[in-house]
Homo-oligomer: A and B are copies of this chain.
Amino acid sequence: VASSVHYDLGRFVARLTAHSALSAEEQQAILSLPFHQSVVSRKRDISQSAGSTSSAFVVASGLVSRFVQLSDGERQFTALYRTGDIVDLDYTVRPVSTGGLNACCDTTILRVSHRELRAVAARHPAVTEAFWRDCMVDAAVLMQWVVNSGRRDARTRIAHFLCEMAIRAGHNGSMQTEFDLPLSQEQIADAVALTSVHVNRSLKGLQQLALVQSKKVQIHNWRGLTEVAQFDGAYLVADAQAARRMIA
């Protein structure tokens, strides 16, 4: 599938430099990585078992879910990757399958081989550290998901999920915003460990605070939403300084 737009790894470098100091040379080394652009249409599984391929990939546009499918067919998302996020970077140091990958909407991905990733990392210690740190930010999100699905009720849980997605989409703490969330209610259910019916009902109860409609989220009352969600976004940043910046 030939796409009209040609992407580069700029968004990925931007994500890395948001939490890690990289010299111009190091940034250039990453930007120079060979990659292969391709488009995955919505609802298409990118791979049944993530990590089975020899490449990681950066999301250039769209949204990708990592999921585990149980024997009864139920799906549980274990991660969502937005534009600029890298998928399967962990496979660089730990070549073990970690579930399936699915495009939540038409998505453009930039494949980079693990061999090449290992090579840049080997040449630049700061890049290794940036990669490691990037993985740890993902792990911090995972930790919150454990707390979320383990101990919060449906309303709180969905509110928390929306807060997380808002911040990751670049929401800066103003009372109102709108951001894209190309997920069906069923997919939201897979993310927060509820059924689509219950997501539907809970979403109604949150309409005063945030309206989820036609793949978009309109936040009407950020303060209220974070209170319902008991949300503290500190876990989404890579260091305490950034956390302080965010609170301000």
Instruction: Identify the A interface with B (CB < 8 A).
Output: 19, 68, 70-71, 74-76, 78-79, 90, 93-99, 122, 125, 128-129, 131-133, 135-140, 142-143, 145-147, 149-152, 193, 230, 234-235, 237-240, 243
Task: Tell which of B70, B135, B149, B230 touches A136, judged by Cβ atoms closer than 8 Å.
Answer: B135
Do the beta carbons of A93 and B132 come within 8 Å of each other?
yes
Whether B146 pairs with A78 at a CB distance below 8 angstroms is yes
Contacts A96-B234, A98-B140, A139-B142 known; list 6 others, CB within 8 Å: A68-B147, A74-B151, A76-B146, A93-B136, A94-B137, A142-B146
Bound together, the chains give a CA A96 to CA B241 distance in angstroms of 9
Query: What is the distance, in angstroms, from A191's C-beta to the closest C-beta of chain B?
Result: 9
Is B70 a contact partner of A230 (Cβ separation < 8 A)?
yes
A219 to chain B, nearest CB (A): 22
| Cβ A234 vs Cβ B97 within 8 A | yes
With both beta carbons as reference points, the residue of chain B lying nearest to A238 in the complex is identified as: B94
* Cα distance A139–B89 in the bound complex, in angstroms: 13
Min C-beta distance of A65 to chain B, whole Å = 13
Chain A to chain B: the 10 pairs with minimum beta-carbon distance, closest first: A150-B193, A139-B139, A132-B132, A149-B150, A94-B136, A93-B133, A76-B150, A76-B151, A142-B142, A78-B143
